[in-house]
A and B are shown apart, each in its own frame.
Chain A
Amino acid sequence: MGRVALIEAQQLTRSFRIPVKAPGFAGAVRHLLRPQYTERTAVDRLDLRVEAGESVAYVGPNGAGKSTTLKMLTGILSPTSGQVRVRGVDPHRERVANARSIGVVFGQRSHLWWDLPIQESLRLLGDIYEVPRERFTRSLDELVALLELGELLARPARQLSLGQRMRCELAAALLHGPELLYLDEPTLGLDVAVKERVRGFIRHINRERGVTVMLTSHDLGDIEDLCERMVMIDGGRILFDGPLRTMKERFGRTCAIHLALRGQPPDALALARQALPELAASCSTQPEQHQLVVQFDMAQAPVGSVVGRLLAALPVQDLRVQEPSIDSILRDLYENRLQLQEPRR
């Protein structure tokens, strides 16, 4: 696994022009006579470096600039300023050269021809990417086996379920043997079993075949299962870029302790608050489950001390400590995004 930069973006920026219209008919007429626009910066001076063999999760709330970044990396959109190189190639200017070496799966768009049997679509893609016959056969055999496409090949894309279609999309994106695979919300709308299968496949091609994977997703399972590195973006700026582990250590500070109590003491909440004066506001009850929950910032008090004091003060029957998950970290970050964000210039 070399330390070769596959993707290098410097100060990559893309803004869109949004028409400003006053509401109603009068506003529409005024816009016609004197059009006014504002600029919206979707991606703002982004620096990114991805090395060969990496698997990167690219996350952020809706409208953060994820898709726009991917569209610039894949050569669909041109940057407003800054530059990007993928394998040393400018993906927008040298679109065709770039297209040969990448595979892209969009959760919401299809590479397959809607009304043609899957095998026809795959064959046509083989023609378009000029895959030599032998390699095409080998590659197709392998993908069909890994993704279990055998029965789907003769059916047109429009007759497939979303999960079946997504498996075919993966085959379509990888048939020409790209070094780099971009996935835009690949598991959107899939059921748990299919998600698992799609993830297993992506993991396989990343770890066994050394295909570099860059994935956007709102699905935390995708991120935790597939990626070692996470890049988080909001408002077009990178908020975090580093190993998933560091992410957890740095931001995952909220810990929840769930307690089941013997005999359902009516004053449990008061007792807990007494035992934990500094965390009094963090204690709550869930009456229907006869449970007491203490949710707190681990920087405020060590978990061990909190558990010890709770055990001493209450008739605890069962205790469960919930450590921070990527899920809760992201939720926290999305909700309080302004605290993390550096001031905008």
Chain B
Amino acid sequence: MSGLLVPVALRQAPRSKYLALVFIGAQRTLAYPRTVLLSLLSNTVWLAISYHLWSAVFDGTSQVGGLDWARMQTYLLLAQCASLLLNASASVHRMLRLIRTGDIAIELLRPYDVLTSQLAFSAGAALVEGVLGVLVAAGLGLTLLDVLPAASPAAASFFLVSLLLGFLVRFMVSLITSLLCLWTKNWLGLHWMQAALLSVFSGALVPLHLYPGWLRSLSLALPFQGIIHTPISIYLGELQGSALLRALGLQAFWVVALWGLARLLWNPGRQALDIQGG
């Protein structure tokens, strides 16, 4: 019996609890390869559909809303891959599921900060799906589509930073939505509302470039643009110098503000929690 124990004991290297959760998030995502493949597949299908849709729009014109066809293709591909990272099922649904099923009780029994632990777990899951997303992007981009390289090496690295911040904004939005369910007890409506806000205002559905002025201004005033629009604009070189720094700063501001809001909601939310029976 002790022979079996040795590997566990040996691998018990000291590990921070939140880092451990990042690993678990990644490991659990890998435990369901079919789920990951399916979301890859559906993203690819969606990409193919929007590619054909937009190629029809660009048939006969060279520019739509300041985007030419090559930039549009680049936009579509990046948006699809980013949304793979951003919609990593674990990060979007975990807290919601915990609250809905009452399994939040188990989380509350553990000596960690529940919100931070959610973040750690989601980061692990998103990392796995994100890496896959990048692989798909590279594969499709290099073979099928006419994708532009990043505007500059600097743009490429700022793009990654911005993507990371985008992930955090995305996480905070779904965290706050989930926390609101502690009061409403109705998760479906909130979830749909969140999905609608995200697809309209993040640039996932239609690039914000193409919106009429007022809608565009509105989008830029909301946190959602930081999820897809900002990283891709950086990649394409539309944001440079001080504008780029301002955009990153704005993303960071939203991350901090939304995290603060989630924390503000958490304690009263815990009071509002009722798990009856079982």
Contact = CB atoms under 8 A, between A and B. Distances in A.
A99 B107 CA distance: 10
Contacts of B106: 106, 109-111
B143 interface: no
B276 A16 contact: yes
B43 to A, nearest CB: 23
Contact of A16 (B102, B111, B274): B274
B105 A128 contact: no
A40 to B, nearest CB: 9
B12 A109 contact: no
B97 interface: no
A76 B12 contact: no
Interface in A99-118: 99-100, 102, 104, 106, 108-111, 113, 115-116
Interface string B104-147: 01101111110000000000000000000000000000000000
Nearest to B32: A115
Contact of B275 (A77, A104, A128): A77
A108 B278 contact: yes
Interface stretch (A130-138, A159-167, A247-255, A272-280): A130-138
Interface stretch (B20-28, B44-52, B72-80, B192-200): B20-28
Interface in A207-227: none
Contacts of A197: none
Given A63-B277, A77-B274, A123 B105 contact: no
A127 B17 contact: yes
B274 A153 contact: no
B108 A128 contact: no
A128 B16 CA distance: 8
B113 A116 contact: no
A181 B271 CA distance: 24
A123 B275 contact: no
Interface stretch (A140-148, A257-265, A299-307, A329-337): A140-148
A124 interface: yes
B243 to A, nearest CB: 43
A170 interface: no
A199 to B, nearest CB: 22
A115 B113 CA distance: 23
B31 interface: yes
Contacts of B110: 99, 128-129
A133 B28 contact: no
A115 B31 contact: yes
B270 interface: yes
Interface stretch (B3-11, B149-157, B165-173, B251-259): B3-11
Given A104-B109, A136-B12, A116 B27 contact: yes
A187 interface: no
Contacts of B31: 115-116, 156
Interface string B174-201: 0000000000000000000000000000
Interface residues of B, number: 39
B181 to A, nearest CB: 16
A42 B278 contact: no
Contacts of A115: 28, 31-32
B218 interface: no
A85 B271 CA distance: 17
A108 to B, nearest CB: 5
B61 interface: no
Interface of A: 16-17, 42, 63, 67-68, 71, 74-78, 92, 95-97, 99-100, 102, 104, 106, 108-111, 113, 115-116, 119-120, 122-124, 126-130, 133, 136-137, 140-141, 144-145, 150-151, 153-154, 156
Closest 6 A/B residue pairs (Cβ) = A127-B20, A150-B1, A99-B111, A115-B31, A137-B9, A119-B8
27 contacts: A16-B276, A63-B277, A67-B276, A71-B105, A74-B108, A76-B275, A77-B274, A92-B270, A95-B108, A99-B110, A104-B109, A106-B278, A109-B103, A110-B106, A115-B31, A119-B8, A122-B8, A127-B20, A128-B17, A129-B111, A133-B13, A136-B9, A137-B12, A145-B1, A151-B4, A153-B8, A156-B31
